[in-house]
Homo-oligomer: A and B are copies of this chain.
């Protein structure tokens, strides 16, 4: 039976980059016998403006029951001032499918993409395991005496042993499977003493099961400093939802911008479950419709998706071709080329067909 892949192009530049990613998937389906079925979803700002639909239960259920992967472009549109529809979809997928490990490789594919003096691509090669189902994103909290001088507004950072442990285990399992020598926990345990005491305790407990891997602690503030000084010691970083969000945008900068940053959200303990695949970039409304968006982040995300389907060698192949595109200037302007979105996609497809 073919694997069902839901495509959710979304808003802004989302449809433009997902179109190129779709062509890559179609090539794998039609010429490389990767047995997939594509199912394009009409969700996002357009749909919301049309009929107020955000993330219907039937779609959520079909994804949960039948799909192997969702490929999401990006969400967010200036015509819809509140982001509620976008959150319904994004968190509906991440939380609803219990995709607890948001895996974001921070890997520079060419020396020229690295913005740091004296550093080369080989210095930027780590993977962030971001907890993806709890933390501050639970949005538990409220406002009291709203609109008065005495207003109080609270958000709670909620961490469960189960949630923290499974994410940390996912990071160590990845490190073991990929021969990595260290895993870093990034936290703020010197300020968040309740939540991050749990993270620390759990981290060093789990680490005992992986004696061949060095378990190290780093404060999130120090990590952000080290990343602009010398990112080379980092291999695998496990962290909470919020810090993972921050550090992977910074990481995007280290790999040449968000036009190069891919991500996978998985229920990591069960590789058969559906996964969510997103370029890290947003919908970038000012760039939409101009054929300037970099399709490589979406295409690299297809690489992660193919690994999820059991074809890790195709992820490597895709990375190698993207690296060549950068080297040869067959890429969009943000990464030093002069191609449009479509032309960069054309170049990639031609290279992949060879």
Please list the residues of chain A having a beta carbon within 8 angstroms of any beta carbon in chain B. 83, 87, 114-117, 136-137, 139, 141-143, 148-162, 188, 190-198, 220-222, 224-229, 241-242, 245-250, 252-254, 257-258
Shortest CB distance A44–B (Å):
16
A150 contacts which chain B residues (CB < 8 A)?
Answer: 160-162
A116's nearest neighbour on chain B, judged by CB, is B115
Q: How far is the CB of A106 from chain B (nearest CB, A)?
A: 12
A229 to chain B: which residues have CB within 8 Å? 115, 253, 257
Min CB distance A33 to B, Å, is 39
Which of B154, B159, B258 is close to A157, meaning CB atoms less than 8 Å apart? B154
How many Å lie between the Cα of A83 and that of B139 in the bound state? 29
Q: Are A155 and B195 in contact (CB under 8 A)?
A: yes
Copy total for this chain: 2
Separation of A198 and B148 alpha carbons in the complex (Å): 11
Residues in B neighbouring A143, C-beta threshold 8 A: 194, 197-198
In the complex the two chains form, is A160's CB within 8 Å of B155's CB?
A: no
Contact call B197/A153, Cβ cutoff below 8 A: yes
Which residue of chain B lies nearest to A229 when distances are taken between CB atoms in the complex?
B253
Which of chain B's residues has its CB closest to A191's CB? B137
- Quote the shortest CB–CB distance from A165 to chain B (angstroms): 8
User: Chain B residues near A190 (CB, 8 Å)?
Assistant: 83, 87
- Asked if residues A148 and B136 are in contact (CB atoms below 8 Å), the reply is no
Per the bound structure, the CA–CA distance linking A190 and B136 in Å amounts to 11
For A228, what are the chain B residues with a Cβ–Cβ distance below 8 Å?
115-116, 228, 250, 253-254
CA distance A195 to B157 in the complex (A): 12
> When the two chains form the complex, which single residue of B141, B159, B192, B221 contacts A195, counting CB atoms closer than 8 Å?
B141
Contact of A136 among B117, B157, B224, B246 (CB under 8 A): B157
13 additional A-B residue pairs with CB within 8 Å, beyond A136-B157, A154-B156, A224-B253: A137-B191, A139-B192, A148-B161, A150-B161, A153-B197, A154-B158, A154-B194, A154-B195, A155-B193, A156-B156, A157-B157, A191-B241, A225-B252
Cα distance, A225 to B258, chains bound together (Å): 9
Report B-chain residues with C-beta under 8 Å of the C-beta of A188: 136, 242, 245
Q: List 14 A-B contacts (CB under 8 A).
A: A83-B190, A136-B157, A136-B191, A142-B194, A143-B197, A152-B161, A153-B159, A155-B192, A155-B193, A188-B245, A221-B248, A221-B250, A225-B258, A227-B253
Listed residue (A141, A149, A241) with the most chain B CB atoms within 10 angstroms of its CB: A141
Whether the Cβ atoms of A152 and B157 lie closer than 8 Å is no
Residues of B within 8 A of A250 (CB): 221, 224-225, 227-228, 250
Q: List the B side residues contacting A224 at CB < 8 Å.
A: 224, 246-247, 249-250, 253
Closest B-chain residue to A114, C-beta based?
B117
Contacts of A227 in B (CB 8 A): 250, 253
| A322 to B105 CA separation, bound complex (whole angstroms) | 39
Measured between beta carbons, the chain B residues less than 8 angstroms from A161 are: 148-152
| Complex Cα gap A1–B196 (Å) | 47
Interface residue from B87, B141, B198, B257 paired with A156 (Cβ < 8 Å): B141
CB neighbours of A195 from chain B (8 A): 141, 153-155
Chain B residues with CB under 8 Å of A191's CB are 136-137, 139, 241-242, 245
A347 to B63, CA, bound (A): 68
Q: Which residues of the partner chain B approach A258 to less than 8 Å between Cβ atoms?
A: 225
What residue in chain B is nearest A83 (Cβ atoms)? B190
